Structure 1
Amino acid sequence: MTGLGEDVPQTAGAIWRRTVPVWAGLTALLVATLSLAYVPMGRFGIVVSLGIAAAKAGLVVVFFMQLRKPDPLLRLTAFASLIFVAFLLTIIFAEVLTRAPPTRPGTVMPRSAPDMPGLGQRAF
């Protein structure tokens, strides 16, 4: 007995009893997301949306990725992937913050749609 859940009976009823409440929670969070999309909340809209998204991600991680089991390799893999995503987001934000402003002299901007030339011609 290693504590990884091998001794848990895997009957259809046990599987349904574990997954239906998680599905109901995810569905409730989906309904909350859809209904709050039409509520004018100003600056707090993004905060509420990200909170709901974090709750959904937490449910998926804990129940469907089975991170509540004490398997150290599974938790290490999840932690490594989280670090990797944080690294990628850091690179993306650093790249966006170091871009030249579009009004700087010498910046090439595409023309608007009505002024676009015909096929085979340069758009800049």
Structure 2
Amino acid sequence: MALITLGVLLLASIVVSRIHLGTWNSFAGPAIAAVKASIVLFFFMKLRKSGPSVHFAACFGFAWLAIMIVLTLSDFLTRWPVIVR
């Protein structure tokens, strides 16, 4: 069931990449990727049935990813465009 769902989400991400949704493309792609990642984590890596140390490692990984995204976005959003004359 999980493998079929991943296949459907793969097709959905291909369709979303081909259709012009305006600013919703920036939301739809990462949202589909997050759903696919959660399916892989919970069904194939069996995160639900694992021990507390594995839960801690997964939470630490997500926290590190969040820190990297925040730092990258803060750098990107505070840059001024370079005007070449």
TM-score by length of 1: 0.59
Pick closer, same or farther for the CA change 1:46–1:98 going to 2, 3 Å. Answer: closer
Higher helix share: 2
**Structure 1 unaligned spans of 5+:** 1-20, 104-108, 110-124
Distance 1:36 1:95 in 2: 28
| CA distance 1:45–1:92, change in 2 (3 Å) | closer
Indicate how the Cα distance of structure 1 residues 41 and 99 shifts in structure 2: closer, same or farther if over 3 A, else same.
Answer: closer
Identity %: 29
2:24 aligned partner: 44
Structure 2: segments with no counterpart, 5+ residues? none
The residue that corresponds to 1:64 in the other structure is: 44
Where does residue 25 of structure 1 map in the other structure?
Answer: 5
Aligned partners of 1:69, 1:83: CA distance in 2, in Å?
A: 21
Q: 1:79 maps to which residue?
A: 59
Query: How has the CA–CA distance of structure 1 residues 96 and 37 changed in structure 2, closer, same or farther, with 3 Å as cutoff?
Result: closer
Asked which structure has the greater CA Rg, the reply is 1
Read off the aligned partner of 1:93 and give its amino acid letter: L
Q: TM-score, normalised by structure 2?
A: 0.81
Output the CA distance in 2 between the equivalents of 1:61 and 1:94.
28
Q: CA RMSD in A?
A: 1.8
Deviation at 1:58? 0.8
